[in-house]
Amino acid sequence: NAGVMQNPRHLVRRRGQEARLRCSPMKGHSHVYWYRQLPEEGLKFMVYLQKENIIDESGMPKERFSAEFPKEGPSILRIQQVVRGDSAAYFCASSPRRWQGTSNEQFFGPGTRLTVL
Amino acid sequence: KNEVEQSPQNLTAQEGEFITINCSYSVGISALHWLQQHPGGGIVSLFMLSSGKKKHGRLIATINIQEKHSSLHITASHPRDSAVYICAVEGSNYKLTFGKGTLLTVNP
């Protein structure tokens, strides 16, 4: 049973280009979370998705960032017109279906290190 | 004031020592998570707890909901335990809010 997979592991982009980060959740998991870890800072929540739905995107920057989790295929975090300040490690995590009022352990992927030149 | 405070920020120990890392939070939570992050590496979930105490091998996590405090203990520490340990609290909206982490170095 493969864990959470992210690709690419390392991504280099020049300012103004687009970055696409992919996350395949663990088998049977229908919830995906994206987190960002800026250099020398802690992890910050970005967005929480279920299949075909964005549940909470309160941590996403208002511009240039978008996320999706289609019915088929991986979850995608897309950053348009990247700037140097976007350089960070982006982690996704997945969890199985939630029942109302319960918490679930989140399983993290290895992360994508984005470097913007 | 951050919602999640960890102490200490840095901790150096000798192999075999008993380690304690503390986490205090200021909001109501549905669960608290302890995570481990190795340098340049990924993140591993160690514990998720909402009350009492959990134990996995040499790791023990406790939580006191009334005092809004949790501790992570490592017994018989080993150099391979060297990592950043992160406390995260989960609110009713399922979002995780993270502490800044504790960098643990265990010397042989």
pLDDT, one tens digit per residue, over B86-101 is 999 998 777 899 999 9
Residue B39: its pLDDT value, please? 81
Size of interface A-B (CB pairs under 8 A): 54
Position A81 scores a pLDDT of: 97
- Tell which residue, B29, B23, B32, B31, has the closest CA to residue B4: B23
Q: Do B33 and A105 lie within an 8 Å CB cutoff?
A: yes
Residue ranges with strand state E in chain A: 5-7, 10-13, 19-24, 31-37, 43-50, 53-56, 65-68, 75-79, 88-95, 107-108, 112-116
User: Which chain A residues are within 8 Å of B100, Cβ to Cβ?
Assistant: 41-42
* 3-state SS assignment for residue B107: strand
For A78-117, write each residue's pLDDT tens digit: 999 999 999 999 999 998 866 655 667 889 999 999 999 9
What pLDDT is recorded for position A99? 63
Residue A101's pLDDT is what?
Answer: 58
**Per-residue model confidence as pLDDT tens digits over A7-20:** 999 999 999 999 99
Check A55 against B88: CB less than 8 A apart.
no
Mean pLDDT of chain B: 93
Residue with structure tokens 């643990």?
A: B104
Quick: pLDDT tens for A71-87: 999 999 999 999 999 99
How confident is the model over B20-54, as pLDDT tens digits?
999 999 988 889 999 999 887 789 999 999 899 99
